[in-house]
Structure 1
Amino acid sequence: MTNPATQTVAAAGDRSFDSVEQEVFLNLWRTYDRLKALEDDLFGRVGLSAQQYNTLRLLRSIYPDGMPTLMLGSRLISRAPDMTRLLDRLEQRGLLVRERKSENRRVVEVQITENGLKLLDEIYEAVQECHRQQLGHLSKKALRELSDLLRQARQPHEDSMNPSVADS
């Protein structure tokens, strides 16, 4: 027996999705994959992952202050399953420093270094060009509408206590 929802969506869109939600989700996933390929190429040239870049970008936004590791992890665009390893690699390259606070030894604060700031400055134009390649073919109005729709789609799934910078 076939699912009536599948027949409706397939007939309307002439595609074989189980639901319109699935069609949208798979379109988001495919879009992410295509746009991420451009980003991976850029960051690969400077030995960073997208998560490492995002970490440095967040730390630059509060420089010269630092941020506790747990707060930093909660504000990343995508979850980092091994935050310690991500920070280890950036610290080994001299792009950030970690300091355990004497008043609370459980809290580790992370701060971007001058080398981290310098790297972000060096790749700034390349990052802007990457974004233009990814989405520059869309109008400003379309980009704002898309951003609003994406925010609405993820809103029920966000942690209201730790908003992402994408929602700032």
Structure 2
Amino acid sequence: MIIENEVGIASFRNEWQKASISIVYTYGFLSNGYESFFKKHGLTTQQYNALRVLRDQFPKPVSTSFLREKMLDKMSDASRLVSRLSAKGLVSVTQNPSDKRLVNILITEEGSQIISNIDQDLPHLDAMLQGLTEKEAQTLVELLYKVRESIKTVDERIAANEEVRA
């Protein structure tokens, strides 16, 4: 089925709009698949992502700003996310001794165990893209990188124009 039929758009302005809508539409499928997968493990996608970052940094504690910077979803409220993980006993939060305004966040043993259990099931997530060959997946990664770079360039131009107007 072609994208026009899937999303109910009779025609697109151009191929860039068509590609953009296709990415957003596909993101919905991936996002729903990820949420369902992590829900089975008692986590959200964002919670898993935070635990993954913390595991990779262990035993070095991280701040909420570091965590936010490394999150896949830049719109995540890192402070609220950390509070929820702490309430579940998956992270420990202590005051930073050198800067009282910051906190140190570490993954707990229980958090590490959950991540280890999830690691065994991660091939189920990979299977969502099983319709692609590994070479096609590599090409997709390269194309999506180009998309992100294009977006950054446009964002920078918009920001520069706004500064000129101010």
The TM-score with structure 2 as length reference comes to 0.80
Structure 2 CA distance for aligned equivalents of residues 25 and 157 of structure 1? 11
Report what 1:46 is aligned to: 41
Report what 1:140 is aligned to: 134
Structure 1 CA distance for aligned equivalents of residues 80 and 46 of structure 2? 12
Report the count of equivalent residues: 144
1:1-168 equivalent positions in 2, closer than 5 A: 16-132=11-127, 134-157=128-151
Q: Partner of 2:42: helix, strand, or coil?
A: coil
> Letter of the aligned partner of 2:147 in structure 1?
A
Q: CA RMSD in A?
A: 1.7
CA deviations 1:4-32 (Å, max 9, x no partner) are: xxxxxxxxxx9511232211111001111
Stretches of structure 2 that go unaligned for 5 or more consecutive residues are 1-8, 153-166
Using the TM superposition, give the Cα deviation of residue 136 of structure 1 relative to its aligned residue in structure 2, in angstroms.
2.1
Stretches of structure 1 that go unaligned for 5 or more consecutive residues are 1-13, 159-168
Contact 1:42 1:127 (8 Å CA) reproduced: no
> Letter of the aligned partner of 1:146 in structure 2?
L
Q: Partner of 2:136: helix, strand, or coil?
A: helix
Contact 2:92 2:108 (8 Å CA) reproduced: yes
> Letter of the aligned partner of 1:139 in structure 2?
T
Contact 2:46 2:76 (8 Å CA) reproduced: no
Structure 1 CA distance for aligned equivalents of residues 11 and 81 of structure 2? 40
The TM-score with structure 1 as length reference comes to 0.79
- Percent of aligned pairs sharing the same letter: 28
Using the TM superposition, give the Cα deviation of residue 125 of structure 1 relative to its aligned residue in structure 2, in angstroms.
2.2
With CA pairs under 8 Å and 6+ residues apart, which has the higher RCO, 1 or 2? 1
Using the TM superposition, give the Cα deviation of residue 117 of structure 1 relative to its aligned residue in structure 2, in angstroms.
0.6
Structure 2 CA distance for aligned equivalents of residues 109 and 157 of structure 1? 33
Structure 1 CA distance for aligned equivalents of residues 98 and 150 of structure 2? 36
Structure 1 CA distance for aligned equivalents of residues 151 and 105 of structure 2? 27
Structure 2 CA distance for aligned equivalents of residues 35 and 81 of structure 1? 18
Report what 2:3 is aligned to: none
> Letter of the aligned partner of 1:113 in structure 2?
T
> Letter of the aligned partner of 1:21 in structure 2?
W
